[in-house]
Amino acid sequence: MGRVWFVGAGPGDPDLITVKGRRLVEQAGAILYAGSLVDAAATRYAPVGCLLEDSKSMTLEQISAWLIAAAGRCDTVVRLQTGDPGLYGALTEMVRPLDAAGIPWQVVPGVTSAMASAAAAGESLTLPEVTQTVILTRVAGRTPMPAGEDLEALAAHRATLCIYLSATLLPQVQRALRAAGWPAEAPILVVQKASWPDAEQIVRGRLDDIDQRCRAAGVDAQAMIIASPTLGAREWAELTASKLYDPSFGHRFRRAAEPGLAAEIGEGSSSANEIQ
């Protein structure tokens, strides 16, 4: 019996799949890919003779049945999904029938579209003393938002908001942010088809005109909305530089110019004791 791999294909550019994801695609006996957003990676890297199918017209039940049948025939079955499989990807619904059928499965993460959109626009989603928090969310469409997660409540944090699945609901986003106290001139970024060669579109606007700008640009699907107090910071007159690159700030990989500051570097450095 084969194994099913839920592979994040990344945001669209086939070069943005991980090395591990690509290796699995290259050795797959069967690949079920999630619509046109990831067909490039599937068709570019799939081996000759691999069974390739688009799931766009399938129900969840049909997807599970397809994966189970394929795992009966092939060692490596790949379910290729946009971005990262763990975000708005129905992963849990798909793996439960595999568990019930005793089929092993694993997830390979992917570059999510929020990060691809920030990269396309050259923006940082965190900035010292501005915001150190990123919220990945959506507004209610046909899927309702759980209690306490409406956009107005989340926007009250004044952190970075990456809003998925909401490009056609921009007026709702505008109302929620205004109600949470964001100013009309707050910068908003919308990126359609981030990372797609020849199709990426970046729209910058303000909270009060972003819907109009997106409509004028024809942006209404496959788009990420980013609202963040960090947007446009590269043009600010003054910026609090990250402590990580401050000469007086020592950490595991660099001696501080002056002693006495605690380390705050990310991965792997858990305490000030690691400062040499």
* Residues within the interface to ligand SAH (CB under 6 A): 11-12, 37, 82-84, 87-89, 112-113, 116-117, 164-165, 191, 193-196, 222-224
Q: How far apart are CA 104 and CA 95, in angstroms?
A: 9
- The CB-nearest residue to ligand SAH is 83
DSSP conformation letters of 138-179: E--SSSPPPTT--HHHHHTT--EEEEES-GGGHHHHHHHHHH
What's the min distance (Å) between Cβ of 207 and ligand SAH?
Answer: 18
Q: Which residue has the tokens 């194994």?
A: 3
Tokens of 40: 């490039």
Q: How far is the CB of 166 from ligand SAH (least distance, A)?
A: 7
What distance in Å separates the CA atoms of residue 122 and residue 236, rounded to the nearest whole number? 15
Tell me whether residue 43 or residue 201 sits nearer to ligand SAH (CB atom). Answer: 201
Nearer to ligand SAH, 145 or 244 (CB): 145
Q: For residues 54, 59, 61 and 67, what is the CA-based torsion angle, rounded to 10 degrees?
A: 10
Q: Which is nearer to ligand SAH, 8 or 250 (CB)?
A: 8
SS3 state at 31:
strand
Least distance in angstroms from the C-beta of 49 to ligand SAH: 28
Query: Token digits for 128?
Result: 């010292």
Which of 109, 128 has the CB closer to ligand SAH? 109
Q: How far is CA 36 from CA 28, 61, 249, in A?
A: 19, 20, 47
Least Å from the CB of residue 35 to ligand SAH: 10
Token pair of 20, please? 């591990």
Least separation, in Å, of the C-beta of 110 and ligand SAH?
7
- In the bound state with ligand SAH, the residue whose beta carbon lies nearer, of 115 and 263, is 115
